[in-house]
Structures are given as structure tokens and as C-alpha cells.
Amino acid sequence: MASIKIRAKAKGGITTVKTLMSHPMETGLRKDKKTGEKIPAHHITEVSAEHNGNVVMTANWGGAISKNPYLSFKFKGGASGDKIKISWVDNKGESDSMEAAIK
């Protein structure tokens, strides 16, 4: 199952990108209700977006971002059929990326 869903639409020279990422986004501060032990930190630290291979957005995140984060942004350029790629890396070194065509 893909951890990233992407919708991108170009209109009037501006591309709007909307993404939904599946990730637990644990801060490291919550305790397990059954054991009382702290749940280890596990969160996305960097998200980047590429349009036809050029980076158009980079976000540095920490533990304060909610579970299954939603991200929306706009950039100049992009046309129907162009590729947009979203990638993330988390604090455990895990990563994922997904590519979609702009509509």
C-alpha cells in the first residue's frame, strides 16, 4: 500500500499540489496505555517535491505534525501531463516516494 496520495492540478500557470501521507508521526512523548512505557519517536523529518526532476518545495518537520499528515502547496509552472514527485524521510531512516501526473 502506498503511503502517499497525490493530486496536482495546473491552472493559469500555477500548480496546486495536495498530498496525504500515511505515517504514525509519534512524538516520543506519549505513553503506551497498557505498558506505561514511552512510545519511541517515529516521525517524518523531511518532505520534498520535485517537478520534472527540479525541487520545488522542501519542508523540515518535527514531532509536532499530526498522524497521517496532509500537505498542500502551490508553485509557478507545471502543465497537464507533467510529473510531480513527493518524497519523505523519517527519523528512523525510512522513506517513501510517489509520482503522479499533473492534471
Residues 6+ apart with CB under 8 A from 34: none
pTM, entire model: 0.91
Strands 14-21, 70-76: parallel, antiparallel or unpaired by DSSP?
antiparallel
In angstroms, the CA 19 to CA 47 distance is 11
Give tens-digit pLDDT for 39-86. 999 999 999 999 999 999 999 999 899 999 999 999 999 999 999 999
Give tens-digit pLDDT for 16-47. 999 999 999 999 999 999 999 999 999 999 99
Domains of the chain are 4-101 (2.60.40.10)
Other residues' Cβ atoms within 10 Å of the Cβ of residue 10: 19
